């Protein structure tokens, strides 16, 4: 009997090794959104292109939308811009832009030079909406359903594969043209 | 592959520059608030950095969070409200002191349990070992009472001298 | 050409280590004396080739050979030569080569300084170390060669070493640390050799002790240096963050401390043989686990090397083979004999067991806290963080309890002691410590603080009980000097190390309770008060360094009008990457540090300035130095310098 007890350390080691192995396939830096299945935060901010126009949640609730957090100081945002234009072209789901802690002039220039995939842009100069959203680094893309509930967040450059995944999620809710 | 490694290396290099001390200048109207600020920013984790609290991180998001905490302190919020505010937006990840939930029972109570277990095991081992020793030596010819007493006395004086 | 020689030398070293792993081991199990004698020359050969490899890498750095990828990533032509050379271990690949160098160095040392060891034991020990070396050198060659080249086109200049690393700390901290980590492989090898040979009596403990104590001292020194370096370099005055990489060094140290004590019991009394074997396996396993955690990307840390799951997988395999193999061997062959000697409940043996329990629980606690986020994530339960508030809350009480036991243990004899004898010796230290603990916060601070009371009384308890015990040694002495000379060095070592623990505890208690800190906006002429000192900002001027430009501030510190010191913190911009760094300036002293760092420049020549008052912070590191010194003293003991100790091979 006591001999069996001596196998306990070995057993504990196997448990540890199993967890470590699983750990190799997890990214510890990836942070899931704390707002999944919660409503998009309330806000009242000016539009980027029309400063007099104040935008609120009501402006995009009623259909599934993508909210893309971007800024001109973010090099990865530049990378994903192509993909956003492709999504906008496909006209399957509107993209709302959240210009995060940026300068209006630079942002407008960028859209002019690179193309504008956004229905409209929320100008979050102070970054307070970003804070309410739990944004920790641009670019981020949020998928909202028709009721304005956040269903998915993608952090980092959005590539074609990610767009396919998003489409699958949307299909899962029924028709895309809701 | 090489390219990825280089990029990785540079990224780590660049992000490690975030290690520089973050020093802002907030004017606190009372030292109590300043202490609370220091405590809160010590306990909250920067959502983006490589394991730093928001007191020491130079990342933009940390600066925003520090500003927010400063504002909330001045608005009269208590510590719990401020922490809840952060957790609502960033999840439990930002708490360096994990909440005590069934998922963290092992974490919080484990050490005490291990200690007690350890003490228990030690007690059992000593007891069984003394028993085994006694049994092993019971078969030897035993000393007579007077011999045993003399031996005892001898041992005690020897030990006293050490 | 030279880098290729370096790579080639490493390949040869791998072959040698494979032969070292196999031949002497086989010789030992078949009784083939000739094959066993190959162990020593093989150990020397392995060391020789790894040294060549290391020198080649050093050469590439000193010659600014940026065709070597690793050199280009971590060096720059403008860097001062001492940093170019210490950049060898500034990144993953090179630090692994340092690991291999130190491992082969220890192997060589064991082969040279083991005249008392029977041949088959030595053969097995060296073979086990050869197995470990095979693992590491193959890891180097297969996934992490520092000699990879950019060819045909390579950068004109290097990417520069992270400015935070361009410091004296980089020169000393990693090598010390690795001396410790790797040194535990010797105790490990001895344990495995004992298990394999079936000779698990007290002899193996006696042979393993000096090696283990040296490794433990180095690891402690490495940790101390790391803490001190972080303190003055990072600019925020912190000295321990419970970061995964820091924890990875603390865990082997804790288990190593338990091992050092357990080996003493096994050698002197022949007890706990099984447990000591297990501890020896654990100490080195934790070193390997630390290597895994730091390089695999499994945990987030500011100290982590560029992480790569592919490398992580390799190390995990290494870990699995070493730990799995050794623990299986342990389970099958560890001794089960219990009835060799007995001891009463109040005996030094029991207190050593208690010490081991405390230390092991502390190590397990640190492991639990470090891995818990991974555990929760792997089970799909979300992402949480475990940081300083947790570790401080859980670690400190256990530490206090252990310190109390430490104080008692010094007065307890082997085998049996009466309660009366213990009380006689310890009542006075107990009273003194509690009194001091009560008085100190009242006179030094602003009133009673439980933390300070506990910290001070527990530390003084340890010191005064050690001192009382020491004084007791002179009762029957002829003269004081003869007695002083009679006491073995290992006794002094024990005293110094225990006092070191108390000193560190005092440092930790006081600096965490009484530090003060302020962040201020200051411009020329501004003055701020902290802890009774006045800090006056007198503006900045530009200075030029070897590879940076800096704004250097002048801050005059006075106390009651009397000038104390002038501090000159800098905000540096390193030329190569345009990287900004703050270089704090500190006025160190035994009883307090005054610490000033510059933040961002504000408008109109004003600056954000951080000022710290850190009382007794140096005691932290002083204690660490004392502990390491104590460890080394025990090894200098005469009995380890004797050449003919074969007589005491079987000591009960």
Number of structural domains chain C divides into: 2
A-contacting residues in B 70-109 (Cβ below 8 Å)? 87-91, 93
pLDDT at B3 over 70: no
Whether C108 is covered by a domain: the verdict is yes
User: Which of C357, C360, C380, C570 to probe by mutation at the B interface, max B CB count within 10 Å?
Assistant: C357
Q: C380 to chain A: nearest residue by CA?
A: A26
The whole-angstrom separation of Cα C46 and Cα C10 is 9
Instruction: Write the burial class of residue A25 (CB in 10 Å: 0-12 exposed, 13-18 middle, 19+ buried).
Output: exposed
Residues of A in contact with B88 (CB under 8 A): 34
Inform me whether the C-beta atom of residue C368 falls under 8 Å from chain A C-beta atoms: no
Q: What is the pLDDT of residue B19?
A: 43
Residues of A in contact with C377 (CB under 8 A): 23, 26, 28
Whether C299 is covered by a domain: the verdict is no
Instruction: Give the closest of B2, B12, B114 to C361, CB-based.
Output: B114
Q: What is the pLDDT of residue A123?
A: 93
CB contact under 8 A, B111 and C398: yes
Instruction: State which fold the A39-172 domain adopts.
Output: Glutaredoxin (3.40.30)
Contact C95, C305 (CB under 8 A): yes
Element of type H or E holding A24:
helix A8-24
Instruction: Give the closest of C296, C324, C336 to A24, CB-based.
Output: C296
**What is each CA distance from B33 to B67, B77, C67, in whole angstroms?**
14, 11, 55
Summarize the confidence of residues C368-388 as an average pLDDT: 93
Domain B2-97 -> CATH class: mainly alpha
CB contact under 8 A, A28 and C331: no
pLDDT at C58 over 60: yes
- The neighbours of chain C, by the rule of 3 or more Cβ pairs under 8 Å, are A, B
Least confident span in B106-120, B135-149, C601-615: B135-149
Whether C232 is covered by a domain: the verdict is no
Contact C281, C191 (CB under 8 A): yes
Could you state, in order of their start, the residue ranges of all structural domains in chain B?
2-97, 103-161
Whether C295 is covered by a domain: the verdict is no
Q: What is the pLDDT of residue B15?
A: 41
Summarize the confidence of residues C40-50 as an average pLDDT: 96
Q: What is the pLDDT of residue C641?
A: 62
Least confident span in B20-34, C137-151, C207-221, C407-421: B20-34
Inform me whether the C-beta atom of residue B58 falls under 8 Å from chain A C-beta atoms: no
Contact C388, C298 (CB under 8 A): no
Instruction: Encode pLDDT of C252-277 as tens digits.
Output: 999 999 999 999 988 888 888 889 99
CB contact under 8 A, A134 and B90: yes
CB contact under 8 A, C383 and B93: yes
pLDDT at C378 over 60: yes
pLDDT at B162 over 50: no
∠ at Cα A79 (A75, A81), nearest 5°?
110
Q: How far is CA C501 from the centre of its chain?
A: 14
Instruction: Give the closest of B60, B64, B91 to A34, CB-based.
Output: B91
Distance from CA of C48 to the nearest CA of A (A): 34
CB contact under 8 A, C389 and B96: yes
Q: What is the pLDDT of residue C567?
A: 93
pLDDT greater at residue B51 or residue C105: C105
Nearest C-alpha neighbor of C430 from the set C461, C458, C470: C461
pLDDT at C450 over 60: yes
Q: What is the pLDDT of residue A178?
A: 43
* Model confidence band, residue B131 (pLDDT cutoffs 50, 70, 90): confident
Nearest C-alpha neighbor of C595 from the set C587, C607, C603: C587
Instruction: Give the closest of B50, B65, B91 to A31, CB-based.
Output: B91
Summarize the confidence of residues C584-604 as an average pLDDT: 90
Instruction: Encode pLDDT of B60-75 as tens digits.
Output: 889 899 999 999 999 9
**What is each CA distance from A133 to A119, C384, C424, C450, in whole angstroms?**
20, 19, 66, 42
The whole-angstrom separation of Cα C389 and Cα B43 is 7
Inform me whether the C-beta atom of residue B147 falls under 8 Å from chain A C-beta atoms: no
Greatest Cα pair distance in chain B: 87
Summarize the confidence of residues C180-186 as an average pLDDT: 95
Instruction: Encode pLDDT of A55-72 as tens digits.
Output: 998 888 889 999 999 999
- The neighbours of chain A, by the rule of 3 or more Cβ pairs under 8 Å, are B, C
- Confirm whether pTM is higher than 0.80: yes
Q: What is the pLDDT of residue B12?
A: 45
**What is each CA distance from C622 to B113, C340, C423, C532, C589, in whole angstroms?**
33, 41, 31, 25, 12
Instruction: Give the closest of B61, B68, B91 to A137, CB-based.
Output: B61
Token duo for residue B68: 């927010």
Summarize the confidence of residues C46-55 as an average pLDDT: 96
pLDDT at B5 over 60: no
Q: Which residues contact residue C316 at a Cβ distance below 8 angstroms, ignoring those fewer than 6 apart?
A: A17, A20, A21, A24, C292, C296
Q: Which ipTM score applies to this complex?
A: 0.88
pLDDT at C135 over 90: yes
Inform me whether the C-beta atom of residue C383 falls under 8 Å from chain A C-beta atoms: yes
Nearest C-alpha neighbor of C275 from the set C197, C216, C359, C344: C359
Instruction: Encode pLDDT of C569-584 as tens digits.
Output: 999 998 888 888 889 9
pLDDT at B20 over 50: no
Residues of B in contact with C164 (CB under 8 A): 16, 19
Q: How many CA atoms lie within 13 A of A80 on its CB side?
A: 26
Distance from CA of A177 to the nearest CA of B (A): 30
Instruction: Encode pLDDT of C471-507 as tens digits.
Output: 888 887 778 888 888 888 989 999 999 999 999 999 9
pLDDT at C249 over 60: yes
**What is each CA distance from C344 to B136, C248, C349, C416, C418, in whole angstroms?**
17, 37, 9, 5, 10
CB contact under 8 A, A10 and C331: yes
Q: Which residues contact residue A17 at a Cβ distance below 8 angstroms, ignoring those fewer than 6 apart?
A: C316, C319, C320, C323, C324
Instruction: Encode pLDDT of C537-569 as tens digits.
Output: 998 999 998 889 999 999 999 998 888 899 999
DSSP state of C647: G
Instruction: Please give the mean pLDDT across all residues of chain C.
Output: 90
The whole-angstrom separation of Cα A121 and Cα A105 is 13
Q: B47 to chain A: nearest residue by CA?
A: A136
pLDDT at B11 over 50: no
Inform me whether the C-beta atom of residue C377 falls under 8 Å from chain A C-beta atoms: yes
Q: A25 to chain C: nearest residue by CA?
A: C309
pLDDT at C383 over 70: yes
- Boundary of a domain, candidates C131, C161, C191: C161
Q: C281 to chain A: nearest residue by CA?
A: A9
Q: What is the pLDDT of residue C337?
A: 63
Element of type H or E holding C622:
helix C617-635
Q: How many CB pairs under 8 A join A and B?
A: 33
Whether C208 is covered by a domain: the verdict is no
Q: A17 to chain C: nearest residue by CA?
A: C320
Q: What is the pLDDT of residue B161?
A: 52
Helix/strand number for chain C, H first, E second: 20, 10
Residues of C in contact with B132 (CB under 8 A): 338-339
pLDDT at C651 over 90: no
Q: What is the pLDDT of residue C164?
A: 85
pLDDT greater at residue C169 or residue C652: C169
Instruction: Please give the mean pLDDT across all residues of chain B.
Output: 80
pLDDT at C174 over 90: yes
The whole-angstrom separation of Cα B51 and Cα C268 is 45
Contact C121, C99 (CB under 8 A): no
Contact C594, C565 (CB under 8 A): yes
Q: What is the pLDDT of residue B21?
A: 53
Distance from CA of B142 to the nearest CA of A (A): 30
Summarize the confidence of residues C357-383 as an average pLDDT: 94
Q: What is the pLDDT of residue C456?
A: 93
Look-up of token digits 């920790």 = A136
Q: What is the pLDDT of residue C210?
A: 93
Q: How far is CA A154 from the centre of its chain?
A: 4
Residues of C in contact with B22 (CB under 8 A): 236, 599
The whole-angstrom separation of Cα C88 and Cα C94 is 5
CB contact under 8 A, B9 and C389: no
CB contact under 8 A, B47 and A31: yes
Instruction: Give the closest of B48, B68, B90 to A34, CB-based.
Output: B90
pLDDT at C134 over 90: yes
Instruction: Give the closest of B48, B88, B89 to A137, CB-based.
Output: B48
CB contact under 8 A, A31 and C383: yes
Q: What is the pLDDT of residue B6?
A: 46
Give, for all 178 residues of chain A, the pLDDT tens digit.
577 888 999 999 999 999 999 989 888 788 888 999 999 999 999 998 888 999 998 888 889 999 999 999 999 999 999 899 999 988 888 999 999 999 999 999 999 999 999 999 999 988 889 999 999 888 999 999 989 999 999 998 998 898 998 888 888 886 544 4
pLDDT at C646 over 50: no
Determine the structural domain holding residue C595 and report its residue range: 522-616
């Amino acid at each position: 009997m006591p001999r069996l007890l001596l196998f306990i350390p070995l057993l504990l080691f196997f448990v540890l090794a199993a967890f470590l192995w699983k750990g190799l396939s997890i990214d510890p830096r990836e942070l899931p959104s704390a707002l999944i299945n919660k409503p998009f935060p309330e806000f009242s901010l000016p539009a980027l292109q029309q400063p007099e126009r104040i935008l609120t949640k009501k402006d995009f609730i009623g259909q599934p939308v993508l909210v893309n957090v971007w800024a001109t100081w973010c090099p990865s945002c530049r990378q994903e811009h192509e993909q956003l234009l492709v999504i906008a072209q496909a006209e399957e789901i509107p993209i709302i832009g959240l210009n995060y802690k940026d300068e209006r002039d630079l942002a407008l220039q960028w859209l002019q030079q690179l193309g504008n995939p956004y229905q409209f842009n929320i100008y979050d100069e102070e970054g307070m909406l970003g804070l309410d959203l739990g944004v920790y680094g641009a670019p981020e893309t949020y998928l909202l359903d028709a009721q304005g509930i956040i269903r998915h967040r993608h952090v980092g450059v959005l590539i074609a594969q990610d767009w396919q995944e998003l489409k699958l999620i949307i299909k899962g809710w029924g028709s895309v043209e809701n | 592959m090489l390219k990825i490694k280089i990029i990785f290396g540079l990224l780590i290099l660049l992000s490690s520059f975030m290690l520089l001390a973050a020093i802002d200048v907030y004017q606190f109207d009372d030292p109590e608030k300043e202490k609370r600020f220091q405590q809160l920013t010590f306990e909250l984790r920067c959502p983006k950095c490589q394991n730093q609290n928001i007191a020491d991180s130079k990342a933009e998001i940390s600066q925003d969070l520090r500003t927010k905490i400063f504002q909330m302190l001045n608005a009269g919020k208590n510590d719990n409200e401020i922490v809840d505010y952060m957790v609502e937006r960033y999840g439990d990840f930002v708490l360096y002191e994990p909440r005590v939930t069934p998922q963290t029972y092992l974490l919080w109570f484990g050490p005490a349990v291990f200690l007690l277990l350890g003490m228990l095991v030690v007690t059992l081992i000593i007891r069984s070992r003394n028993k085994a020793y006694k049994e092993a030596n019971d078969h030897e010819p035993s000393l007579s009472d007077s011999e045993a007493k003399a031996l005892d006395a001898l041992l005690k004086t020897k030990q006293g001298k050490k | 050409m030279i880098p290729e020689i370096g790579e080639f030398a490493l390949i040869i070293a791998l072959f040698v280590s494979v032969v070292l792993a196999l031949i002497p081991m086989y010789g030992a199990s078949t009784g083939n004396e000739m094959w066993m004698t190959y162990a020593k020359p093989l150990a020397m050969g392995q060391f020789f080739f790894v040294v060549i490899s290391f020198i080649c890498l050093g050469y590439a750095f000193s010659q600014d050979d940026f065709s070597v990828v690793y050199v280009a990533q971590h060096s720059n032509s403008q860097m001062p030569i001492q940093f170019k050379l210490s950049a060898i271990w500034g990144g993953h690949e090179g630090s692994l080569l340092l690991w291999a160098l130190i491992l082969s160095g220890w192997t060589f040392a064991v082969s040279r300084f083991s005249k008392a060891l029977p041949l088959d034991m030595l053969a097995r020990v060296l073979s086990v170390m050869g197995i470990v070396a095979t693992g590491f050198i193959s890891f180097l060659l297969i996934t992490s060669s520092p000699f990879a080249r950019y060819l045909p086109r390579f950068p004109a200049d290097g990417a520069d070493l992270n400015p935070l690393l361009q410091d004296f700390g980089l020169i000393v901290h990693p090598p010390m640390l690795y001396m410790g980590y790797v040194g535990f492989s010797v105790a490990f090898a001895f344990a495995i050799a004992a298990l394999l040979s079936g000779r698990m009596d007290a002899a193996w403990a006696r042979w393993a002790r000096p090696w283990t104590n040296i490794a433990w001292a180095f690891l402690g020194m490495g940790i101390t240096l790391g803490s001190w370096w972080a303190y003055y370099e990072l600019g925020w005055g912190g000295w321990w963050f419970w970061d995964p990489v820091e924890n990875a060094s603390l865990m082997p140290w804790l288990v190593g401390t338990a091992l050092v004590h357990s080996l003493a019991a096994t050698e002197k009394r022949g007890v706990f043989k099984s447990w000591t074997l297990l501890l020896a396996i654990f100490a080195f396993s934790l070193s390997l686990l630390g290597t895994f955690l730091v390089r695999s990307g499994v945990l987030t840390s500011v100290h982590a090397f560029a992480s790569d799951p592919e490398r992580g997988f390799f190390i995990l395999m290494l870990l699995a083979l070493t730990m799995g193999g050794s623990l299986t061997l342990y389970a099958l062959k560890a001794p089960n004999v219990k009835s060799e000697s007995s001891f009463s409940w109040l005996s030094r043996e029991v207190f050593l067991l208690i010490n081991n329990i405390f230390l092991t629980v502390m190590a397990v606690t640190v492991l639990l806290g470090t891995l818990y986020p991974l555990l929760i994530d792997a089970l799909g339960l979300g992402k949480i963080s475990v940081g300083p508030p947790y570790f401080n809350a859980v670690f400190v009480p256990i530490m206090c309890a252990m310190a109390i036991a430490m104080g008692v243990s010094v007065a307890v004899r082997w085998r049996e002691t009466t309660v009366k004898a213990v009380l006689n010796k310890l009542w006075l230290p107990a009273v003194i410590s509690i009194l001091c603990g009560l008085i100190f916060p009242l006179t030094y601070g602003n009133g009673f603080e439980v933390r300070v009371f506990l910290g001070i009384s527990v530390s003084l308890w340890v010191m005064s009980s050690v001192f009382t015990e020491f004084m007791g040694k002179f009762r029957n002495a002829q003269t004081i000097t003869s007695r002083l000379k009679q006491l073995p060095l290992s006794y002094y070592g024990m005293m110094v190390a225990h006092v070191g623990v108390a000193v560190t505890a005092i440092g930790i208690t006081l600096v965490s309770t009484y530090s003060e800190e302020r962040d201020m906006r200051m411009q020329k002429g501004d003055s701020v008060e902290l802890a009774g000192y006045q800090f006056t900002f007198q503006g900045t001027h530009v200075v030029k360094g070897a590879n940076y430009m800096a704004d250097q501030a002048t801050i005059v510190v006075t106390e009651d009008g009397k000038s104390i010191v002038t501090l000159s913190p800098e905000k540096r911009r390193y030329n190569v990457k345009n990287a900004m760094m703050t270089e704090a300036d500190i006025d160190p002293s035994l009883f307090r540090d005054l610490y000033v760092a510059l933040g961002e420049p504000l408008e109109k020549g004003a600056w954000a300035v951080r000022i710290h008052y850190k009382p007794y912070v140096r005691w932290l590191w002083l204690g660490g130095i004392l502990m390491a010194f104590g460890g080394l003293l025990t090894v200098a003991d005469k009995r380890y310098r004797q050449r003919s100790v074969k007589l005491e091979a079987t000591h009960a």
